[in-house]
Amino acid sequence: MRNLSAILAHVASVDLVPWTLQRQPCWQESPLYNLAFQTSLDASQTYAFCAEFFSPLGQVQAKPRDIYEPLTHNPVCTPHLSGIDDTLCVYTHATFAGGRGISIVTTPRLARQFAVLPAFLEQSIHAARNINTPTNVYRATEIPGKGIGMLATRPLAFGDVVTSHTPALIAYLEAELSTLDRETLWRTAISQLPPTLQENFLSLATVYGDERVRVQDIVKANTFQILLGGANHLAVWPETSRLNHACAPNAQYVVDADMLTHTVRVTRPIAEGEEITISYTSPLEETDVRRQHLQQGFHFMCTCKRCADPRSDVTLERIRILEKKLNDWSSASSSGSVDMAEELLSLYRREGLEGFMDMPYGFAALAYSAVGDRQKALSYAENAQEAIQMKDGVWTENWKMWEGFKGDLEGHWSWRRRRE
């Protein structure tokens, strides 16, 4: 089997058939044309597909001059795009992650960086880490007023894994292609996936319900962003997409760019039959800001308990005041204290923000270090690391910072920095 890096390096030099996508004026414009990140079309564009779903649409096809193992399909590419100074290609590996499959729409240059990720180099790594393995802790079902959601099938405890999967689709975030050309390319990517994953993707919710741009509509409703090779990509994990939003969620997710995985863990006890939720926006923003983001990005008005409670914004203001004082190290007599740190922790919990506790735990660790309380400083540093692992990952600088803090507490700049 040929090395994937060498294969993808070769793709940039393959001959390309001219771009021959045919357009016919058969429908009015799609609502997606108005979304800046989805399209570069002028709002007056009125062309759309006159074809069956997944029918041949004349994509630019790389000529089969080579065997693209372990890729299971020859790359499908656009012509050179001046805005990104490169082409965009579909790379499908239908046997990726033990046969789950994956399609990636990106540039040949970035594809070479994908090829050296552990996710591709270590064939059995996903199975060894129970990635793409059913957890059987939830069932997807209709939730009144919310569409499909996830209900716990048994009591869940802090840290329990809800889902951990690789994506079906990863797509370079661009505004170079027209809506129609992007739909052609992305439909090709989905059509080349194994049947089960393809079906899971196509069963996901949409924003507009527009069949002409169905794949983009699904991506719009279910995407997460992931930074790969220094470039933003959109990614869809079908299983995770069943999780509904809450401004006080009981679960948190982390994306591992090396493993191409999205893992969701429980952040506070969940009862059997209770809905499992994540946050689609920053829960530390004021109610109006959260609602505006959710309305613009996901087309629903949040009516959760936090959004309906005017005291929530008052609490958020108190949180900001406490964080500002705890972050004031201008003198040994600055007003930050362990009492303030404990109050901050209690306010986060009261707001249902257990999945975002890395900051308050960190402030608590520093506050107790500043008064020489080694036991509590180390305990809260552990808590901060645990919160970072669930939200950002152990590979981040913040996680490593607390590792150094624990390794040499007395040598840390905060040690006995404040008077009790």
CA angle 209, 213, 219 (to 5 degrees): 80
Going by C-alpha positions, the residue among 242, 249, 258 that lies closest to residue 279 is 249
Cβ(157)–Cβ(268) below 8 Å: no
User: What is the DSSP secondary-structure string of 200-252?
Assistant: HHHTS--SS--GGGHHHHHHHHH-EEEEETTEEEEEE-TTGGGPEE-SS-SEE
150 has which bridge partners? Answer: 140, 276
Summarised one tens digit per residue, pLDDT across range 202-251 is 999 898 888 889 999 999 999 999 999 899 999 999 999 999 999 999 99
The CB-side HSE value for 272 (13 A sphere, CA atoms) comes to: 4
Cis peptide before 25 (omega within 30 of 0): no
Task: Collect all residues with Cβ–Cβ distance below 8 Å to 117 and sequence separation of at least 6.
Answer: 257, 258, 259, 260
- Give me the pLDDT at residue 266, please: 98
93 has which bridge partners? Answer: 102
Query: Could you tell me whether strands 102-106 and 89-93 are parallel, antiparallel, or unpaired per DSSP bridges?
Result: antiparallel
Q: Where does the pLDDT of residue 3 fall: very low under 50, low under 70, confident under 90, or very high at 90 and above?
A: very low
Summarised one tens digit per residue, pLDDT across range 331-372 is 766 788 999 999 999 999 999 999 999 999 999 999 999 999
Phi (first) and psi of residue 111, to 5 degrees = -60, -35
Greater confidence, 4 or 37? 4
**Ranges of H-type helices in 20-159:** 96-99, 108-114, 118-121, 125-128
CA angle 128, 131, 135 (to 5 degrees): 115
Domain ranges of the chain: 73-276, 306-407
Query: How far is residue 389's CA from residue 279's CA, in Å, rounded to a whole number?
Result: 17
Q: In the chain, what is the straight-line distance between the N-terminal and C-terminal CA atoms, in Å?
A: 65
**What's the rounded mean pLDDT across residues 141-161?**
94
Query: How far is residue 51's CA from residue 188's CA, in Å, rounded to a whole number?
Result: 14
Residue 12 has pLDDT above 60, yes or no: no
Q: Where does the pLDDT of residue 177 fall: very low under 50, low under 70, confident under 90, or very high at 90 and above?
A: very high
| Percent of the chain at pLDDT exceeding 70 | 82
Summarised one tens digit per residue, pLDDT across range 21-31 is 333 332 333 33
Going by C-alpha positions, the residue among 238, 256, 251 that lies closest to residue 201 is 238
Lowest mean pLDDT among 73-77, 129-133, 146-150, 416-420: 416-420
- Give me the pLDDT at residue 334, please: 75
Q: Where does the pLDDT of residue 16 fall: very low under 50, low under 70, confident under 90, or very high at 90 and above?
A: very low
Phi (first) and psi of residue 54, to 5 degrees = 65, 15
Q: Which amino acid is present at 409?
A: L
Cβ(415)–Cβ(370) below 8 Å: yes
Cβ(224)–Cβ(235) below 8 Å: yes
Q: Which CATH number fits domain 73-276: 3.20.20.60, 3.30.70.260, 2.170.270.10, 3.40.30.10?
A: 2.170.270.10
Query: Could you tell me whether strands 89-93 and 138-143 are parallel, antiparallel, or unpaired per DSSP bridges?
Result: unpaired
Task: Collect all residues with Cβ–Cβ distance below 8 Å to 171 and sequence separation of at least 6.
Answer: 104, 105, 106, 186, 189, 219, 233, 234, 235
Task: Give whole-number Cα distances, 55 to 52, 58, 59, 184, 303, in Å.
Answer: 5, 9, 11, 10, 41
Summarised one tens digit per residue, pLDDT across range 371-381 is 999 999 999 99
Cβ(348)–Cβ(340) below 8 Å: no
Query: How far is residue 102's CA from residue 90's CA, in Å, rounded to a whole number?
Result: 10
Cα diameter, the chain: 75
Residue 67 has pLDDT above 70, yes or no: no
The per-residue b/e assignment along 13-44, b for 16 or more CB within 10 angstroms, e otherwise, is ebebeeeebeeeeeeebbebbebeebbbbeee
Greater confidence, 187 or 299? 187
Q: Hey, what are 313's tokens?
A: 């914004």
